[in-house]
């Protein structure tokens, strides 16, 4: 694996550019150059970040669906108390509203951050 491939992998698993540079075995300056001056590297990095975000959002949606299904089953369980069924219905209504808002906020921030990051490139 060459330095650029190592750098791409490190960028996805590191919290900072410094940490990513150390993991990839390159200087921070070299990593910065890859990101901002190497169009092919920048394109690959953008694609990997986008794919990672999609996987993360899919994971969140999957867990959310599981939780909603549980609450829906509880809400429809005729053996459960009325209080429990009502609480489950309330959770479903509030959860749907909050999750829509949260996912919209995440998507907006990702678009803003991605647009800002790639604005220097003519990709």
pTM of the model: 0.59
Q: Token match 């990709």: residue?
A: 123
Q: Token match 């975000």: residue?
A: 53
Q: Is the dihedral of CA 98, 15, 62, 55 positive or negative?
A: positive
Q: How many CA atoms lie within 13 A of 8 on its CB side?
A: 17
Q: Flag whether pLDDT at 15 surpasses 80.
A: yes
As given in the structure block, the two tokens for residue 115 are 């647009």
Q: What is the pLDDT of residues 64-84, one digit of tens each?
A: 889 889 999 999 999 999 999
């Amino acid at each position: 694996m060459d330095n650029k491939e190592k750098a791409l992998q490190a960028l996805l698993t590191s919290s900072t550019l410094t940490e990513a540079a150390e993991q990839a075995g390159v200087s921070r300056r070299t990593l910065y150059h890859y990101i901002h001056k190497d169009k092919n590297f920048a394109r690959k990095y953008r694609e990997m970040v986008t794919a990672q975000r999609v996987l993360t959002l899919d994971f969140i949606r999957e867990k959310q669906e599981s939780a909603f299904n549980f609450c829906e089953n509880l809400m429809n369980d005729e053996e459960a108390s009325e209080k429990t069924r009502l609480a489950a219905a309330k959770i479903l209504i509030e959860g749907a509203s909050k999750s829509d808002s949260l996912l919209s906020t995440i998507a907006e921030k990702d678009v803003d951050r991605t647009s800002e990051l790639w604005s220097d490139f003519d990709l």
